[in-house]
């Protein structure tokens, strides 16, 4: 090795070695990448992959594959991501709905981009399963609650009534949906008093008898302090369903007038592990115009080890600009207030004269001001001049839009299974200017 190095040094010396750098010399920089790859997934509101979605990051555009995947090779450290999907789940005779979502200020390289308004996957359809009858053995009582759950975390829930009951789910035309049917006997002040489950398959109509046993109890302590001008209107134990709806298992607090300084509830309630349960704190406030109310709810996941909650309810968001029906442009952006540390999701609906919603947009940001995004490169045309109904939803309990673009991010918020706060502004109308 020493002889090789000596020969190399001697050769360099013979060739004059390295030339001296003069004042006029320019040393070119080493070439290198301007970013790193982003490998993401587009999913519907239930976390199912969406193929054929159009994705835009910077000037790059991609179409997702059969697994909902896409790759953009060179992406800056911080970037915005937009997704557009043509939703075929519309009434007969209507065109597909253009559903778009924009995530601002992402940094993660593996984003999971939920399209909140999309329930089905392209190439699939919505199935409706009939729950013809449900009864219990071992113990009986009313009201009788039910929930269908499967291995992927899907939950549908309801109350047994004299009418025929249905729940919907997404899948290919010939799909079946194996899971469990949970039966729960409930009492308004005591929660779930008995529960049990049996395996079922969601395809043909379901008629089943479920053996139930007495539920264990937990001691729940909850204190909620609303902001000024707001009041607590409910403390409930609920079963959150995947479509964002809830079924009340126990009502712990009756409505009061706005302005209540705080509410404390101590209660012994029944608990079950057959389905997820949450404590939901609901408040309402008068908007700045005093003509409509705005709301905030705070779900908190219940477990035998998590039963004490002390919550200062943050104020809901308020739209500050533009005024109702006024135009917005890049020179006159949208603006609103939101609690510190929250993520704002702006939701827009294009409502046609026949009542059909032809376009939706959800924009997630940590800012409180933004311009309406230009999505023409992803096939969204003719937006300037259109009017939209819009509102702001403020989500607390997340650490930025990166947390929203996670497998347990936006989807968990929509399903109501996480620990977060959710405030909704009064709706407004805006016309998009060029």
pLDDT in tens, 311-352: 888 888 999 998 887 777 766 789 999 998 899 999 999 988
Phi, psi of 373 (to 5 degrees): -70, 150
pTM, entire model: 0.82
Q: What distance in Å separates the CA atoms of residue 236 and residue 241, rounded to the nearest whole number?
A: 15
Superfamily of domain 33-118+315-412+424-434: Carboxypeptidase-like, regulatory domain (2.60.40.1120)
pLDDT band at 33 (very low <50, low <70, confident <90, very high): low
**Residue for token pair 């779900």:** 299
pLDDT in tens, 250-272: 988 866 554 456 888 999 999 99
- 359 by DSSP, 3-state: which? strand
Q: What distance in Å separates the CA atoms of residue 353 and residue 315, rounded to the nearest whole number?
A: 34
All residues at 6 or more sequence positions from 250 whose CB lies less than 8 Å from its CB, including other chains: 186, 187, 188, 189, 190, 191, 192, 236, 237, 267, 269, 270
Compute CA distances 233 → 192, 279, 330, whole Å.
Answer: 22, 13, 39
All residues at 6 or more sequence positions from 204 whose CB lies less than 8 Å from its CB, including other chains: none
Residue 163: predicted pLDDT: 81
Instruction: Inform me whether the pLDDT recorded for 203 exceeds 90.
Output: no
**Residue for token pair 């049990």:** 196
Residue 393: predicted pLDDT: 93
Q: Would you say the CATH fold of 217-312 matches that of 33-118+315-412+424-434?
A: yes
Q: Which CATH class is domain 217-312?
A: mainly beta
CA 67 to chain centroid, in Å, comes to 20
H or E, element range at 123: none
Cβ–Cβ < 8 Å for 43, 113: yes
pLDDT in tens, 166-177: 998 887 778 889
pLDDT in tens, 217-234: 999 999 998 888 888 888
pLDDT band at 242 (very low <50, low <70, confident <90, very high): confident
CA 342 to chain centroid, in Å, comes to 14
pLDDT band at 121 (very low <50, low <70, confident <90, very high): low
Sign of CA dihedral 36, 39, 44, 47: negative
| Highest mean pLDDT of the ranges 17-26, 72-81, 258-267 | 72-81
Cβ–Cβ < 8 Å for 204, 176: no
Bridge partners (DSSP) listed for residue 260: none
Domain locations in the chain as residue ranges? 33-118+315-412+424-434, 125-214, 217-312
């Amino acid at each position: 090795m020493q002889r090789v190095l000596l020969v190399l040094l001697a050769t360099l010396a013979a060739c004059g070695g390295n030339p001296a750098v003069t004042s006029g010399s320019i040393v070119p920089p080493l070439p290198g990448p301007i970013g790193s790859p982003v490998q993401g997934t587009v999913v519907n509101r239930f976390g199912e992959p969406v193929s054929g979605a159009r994705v835009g990051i910077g000037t790059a555009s991609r179409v997702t594959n059969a697994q909902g995947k896409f790759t953009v090779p060179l992406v800056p450290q911080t970037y915005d991501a937009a997704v557009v999907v043509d939703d075929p789940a519309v009434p007969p005779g209507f065109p597909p709905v253009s559903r778009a979502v924009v995530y601002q200020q992402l940094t993660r390289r593996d984003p999971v981009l939920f399209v909140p308004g999309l329930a089905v996957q392209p190439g699939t359809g919505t199935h409706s399963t009939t729950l013809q009858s449900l009864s219990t053995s071992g113990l009986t009582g009313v009201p009788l609650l039910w929930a269908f759950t499967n291995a992927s975390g899907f939950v549908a829930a309801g109350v047994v009534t004299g009418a025929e009951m249905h729940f919907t789910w997404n899948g290919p035309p010939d799909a079946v949906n194996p899971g469990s049917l949970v039966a729960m006997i409930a009492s308004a002040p005591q929660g779930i008093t008995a529960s049990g489950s049996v395996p079922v398959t969601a395809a043909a109509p379901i008629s089943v008898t479920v053996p139930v046993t007495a539920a264990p109890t937990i001691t729940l302590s909850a204190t909620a302090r609303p902001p000024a001008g707001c009041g607590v209107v409910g403390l409930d134990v609920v079963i959150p369903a995947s479509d964002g709806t809830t079924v009340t298992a126990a009502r712990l607090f009756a409505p009061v007038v706005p302005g209540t300084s705080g509410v404390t509830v101590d209660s012994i309630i029944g608990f079950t592990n057959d389905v997820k349960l949450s404590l939901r704190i609901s408040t309402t406030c008068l908007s700045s115009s005093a003509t409509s109310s705005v709301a905030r709810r705070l779900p908190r996941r219940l477990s035998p080890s998590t039963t004490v909650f002390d919550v200062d309810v943050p104020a809901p968001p308020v739209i500050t600009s533009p005024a109702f029906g006024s135009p917005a442009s890049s020179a006159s952006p949208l603006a609103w207030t939101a609690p510190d540390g929250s993520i704002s999701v702006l939701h827009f609906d294009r409502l046609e004269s026949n009542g059909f919603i032809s376009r939706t947009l959800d924009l997630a940001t940590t800012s409180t001001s933004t311009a309406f995004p230009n999505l023409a490169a992803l096939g969204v045309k003719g937006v300037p001049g259109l009017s939209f109904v819009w509102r702001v939803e403020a989500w607390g309990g997340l650490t930025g839009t990166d947390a929203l673009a996670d497998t347990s991010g936006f989807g968990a918020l929509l399903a109501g299974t996480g620990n977060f706060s959710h405030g909704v502004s009064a709706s407004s109308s805006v016309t998009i200017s060029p």
